Amino acid sequence: MSFFKKLKEKFVGAKTENVTPESTEQLEANEQLELNEQVALNEQPEVKAEIEKKKEQISIGEKFKQGLAKTRNAFSSRVNDLVARYRKVDEEFFEELEEILIQADVGFDTVMELVDELKMEVKRRNISDTKEVQDVISEKLVDIYQGGDEEQSELNIEKDGLTVILFVGVNGVGKTTTIGKMAHKFKEEGKSVVLAAGDTFRAGAIDQLEVWGERVGVDVIKQGEGSDPAAVMFDAIQAAKARGADILICDTAGRLQNKVNLMKELEKVKRVIEREVPGAPHEVLLVLDATTGQNALIQAKTFKEATNVSGIVLTKLDGTAKGGIVLAIRNELAIPVKFVGLGEKMDDLQEFDAEKYVYGLFADLIEKAE
Q: What is the pLDDT of residues 273-298, one digit of tens each?
A: 999 999 999 999 999 999 998 888 88
Pairing of strands 311-315, 247-250: unpaired
Q: For position 16, what pLDDT does the model report?
A: 42
When pLDDT is averaged across residues 216-225 and rounded to a whole number, the result is 95
Q: Quote the pTM value.
A: 0.86
Phi then psi for 358, rounded to 5 degrees? -65, -35
Q: Which of 69-73, 79-83, 128-132, 237-241 has the lowest mean pLDDT?
A: 128-132
Q: What is d(CA 225, CA 336) in angstroms, rounded to the nearest whole number?
A: 33
Residues placed in the known binding site: 169-176, 251-255, 315-318
Residue 112: CB partners within 8 Å, gap ≥ 6? Answer: 98
**pLDDT bucket at 19, cuts 50 / 70 / 90:** very low
Q: What is d(CA 289, CA 314) in angstroms, rounded to the nearest whole number?
A: 6
When pLDDT is averaged across residues 27-52 and rounded to a whole number, the result is 63
When pLDDT is averaged across residues 31-44 and rounded to a whole number, the result is 62
Instruction: Centre a 10 Å sphere on the Cβ of residue 66 and count the other Cβ atoms it contains.
Output: 15
312, 290 Cβ separation under 8 angstroms: no
Q: What is d(CA 236, CA 90) in angstroms, rounded to the nearest whole number?
A: 60
Average model confidence (pLDDT) across the chain: 87
Q: For position 21, what pLDDT does the model report?
A: 45
Q: What is d(CA 352, CA 222) in angstroms, rounded to the nearest whole number?
A: 30
Q: What is d(CA 20, CA 26) in angstroms, rounded to the nearest whole number?
A: 10
311, 338 Cβ separation under 8 angstroms: yes
Q: What is d(CA 251, CA 257) in angstroms, rounded to the nearest whole number?
A: 18
> All domains of the chain, ordered by start, with CATH?
1-155+354-370 (1.20.120.140), 163-353 (3.40.50.300)
The residue among 263 and 61 whose pLDDT is bigger is: 61
pLDDT at 256 over 70: no
H or E element in which residue 33 lies: helix 24-43
pLDDT at 27 over 60: no
Q: What is d(CA 67, CA 51) in angstroms, rounded to the nearest whole number?
A: 24
When pLDDT is averaged across residues 255-270 and rounded to a whole number, the result is 77
Residues placed in the known binding site for GTP: 169-176, 251-255, 315-318
> What is the Cα Rg of the chain in Å?
23
pLDDT at 20 over 50: no
The predicted-structure confidence for 62-78, as pLDDT tens digits, reads as follows 999 999 999 999 888 89
The predicted-structure confidence for 166-207, as pLDDT tens digits, reads as follows 999 988 899 999 999 999 999 999 999 999 999 998 879 999
Phi then psi for 209, rounded to 5 degrees? -70, -35
Listed in sequence order, the DSSP H helices in 189-228 are: 205-216
Residue 256: CB partners within 8 Å, gap ≥ 6? Answer: 170, 262, 299, 302
The amino acid at residue 198 is G
The amino acid at residue 362 is F
With CA atoms as reference, report the closest residue to 7 among 326, 323, 367, 351.
367
**pLDDT bucket at 18, cuts 50 / 70 / 90:** very low
Q: For position 289, what pLDDT does the model report?
A: 94
